Amino acid sequence: MVSLKEELDRKGGLSIIMQGHLGLKNIVYIADVSRMWRKLFPKSSIVNVISSSDCIFLNEDNEFQIREEYLTDRFISSAFDIIKKNCDKIIISSFQTPLPKMKSDSPGINNINLMIAAAKTGLEHSNSKYTLRIRNDLFFCDRNFVDFYEKKIKNPIKNKSIFKQRVLVSEIFTLNPLTISKMPFHYSDWFHFGLTEDIKKIWNSVDFYPFEYAVWYRHRHHSQNSNAVEKRFYTRFAPEQWVSFPFIKKQYPELILEYHNDTTSLIDSIFVLYDNFIILDMHEAHAYIEKYQSIINNMSNYTRVECFSQNTLENIVNFSQDEIKKLFVEGKYASPPRKKIMRLFYRRRLKKIWSSLNKKLP
């Protein structure tokens, strides 16, 4: 029987889809990332999907070319040569415009539709058994993530299985709805690694994000049970929910998510997460992403509490759904009132609370 490592080292074993903006400010960095992927997986098919660019275009011969005004810039021209050398395909996805910013504290515009277009385009060119679909500014310094994935894919199924085999996602931004942000089905979209047929199931179900959903809370009140963190949202759903929920809903139509902090199917979302995904500790996996490296290296109290780790998830699902509701939603370990949550959070005590809880779990 061929091991996962052997499978990924064979031709046709792995497609790596790098997706995102390629421009003047990041082209050298993306060149280094593409070279790193080629070094880690020499026989993989690397597809570079460009969602937008201010320095690359398709000429009349349908070939990628640097814009004339940058041809004399040795850094840009050399970086583009490295990208072409290490990537089997370079593709520009269908053009999409950004949406208004997602939250009151968001640093900029919402690029969810650019991400969706790039993911769909890239997956059309993935014919390997396995696929790693990943934002182009993120990479792993070694292959530890493969070992962790192989270790966890045989975990027993508890309830709602959708995939043929579990899909690996990032711990960062895979939210635990039992803590600060009551946002079910918020599974990180930084990357997906798993069987290509499973990853295509996710993205084949995703439509482009409507503008009216992007401004949902500009003219509506949040639900009455919303806390200060949840009230920061302008959008009806977080991008991560918009990506993850449609394919789940197709399989299990009884599940409900009407807005970002709709808790109707909160407990179900935890079991769906466990049965279909594996959560990767990005620090232990030696991940590097320039934009968020400080979060990876120093998981803050906020992130460590708000996000699921694989260990916490496995501990939680050892309880039945009724027990989780009784313990974590209504009872002993339930979140305290909203004002107290925020007070404890800003005093940096939530981490101690959740650590203490983990010790009490089986």
Q: What is the pLDDT of residue 293?
A: 81
Q: Are 257 and 107 in contact (CB under 8 A)?
A: no
Q: What is the pLDDT of residue 301?
A: 46
Distances, alpha carbon 65 to alpha carbons 31, 62, 89, in Å: 15, 9, 14
Q: Are 306 and 175 in contact (CB under 8 A)?
A: yes
Q: What is the pLDDT of residue 294?
A: 75
Q: Which residues of the chain have pLDDT under 70?
A: 299-304, 332-333, 335-362
Is the CA virtual torsion 323, 328, 334, 339 positive or negative? negative
d(CA 245, CA 38): 33
What is the token pair recorded at 298? 């120093």
* Model-wide pTM > 0.95: no
Q: Are 61 and 77 in contact (CB under 8 A)?
A: no
Q: What is the pLDDT of residue 183?
A: 97
Q: What is the pLDDT of residue 346?
A: 47
Which of 105, 102, 127, 125 shows the shortest CA–CA distance to 47? Answer: 125
Q: What is the pLDDT of residue 353?
A: 52
Q: How far is CA 49 from the centre of its chain?
A: 17
d(CA 202, CA 162): 10
d(CA 281, CA 285): 6
Q: How far is CA 76 from the centre of its chain?
A: 29
d(CA 159, CA 75): 52
Q: What is the pLDDT of residue 300?
A: 47
Amino acid in the structure at residue 334 = A
Q: How many helices (H) and strands (E) does the chain have?
A: 15, 11
CA Rg value for the chain: 21
| Residue linked to tokens 């690397």 | 46
d(CA 298, CA 291): 13
Q: What is the pLDDT of residue 57?
A: 84
48-100 residue pLDDT tens: 999 999 998 888 878 888 888 888 888 999 999 999 999 999 999 988 999 99
What is the token pair recorded at 93? 């996805």
Q: What is the pLDDT of residue 217?
A: 98
Which of 233, 194, 186, 198 shows the shortest CA–CA distance to 214? Answer: 233
d(CA 347, CA 355): 16
Give the DSSP H or E segment for 116.
helix 112-123
How many CB atoms are located within 10 Å of the residue 72 CB?
9
Bridge partners (DSSP) of residue 57 are 65
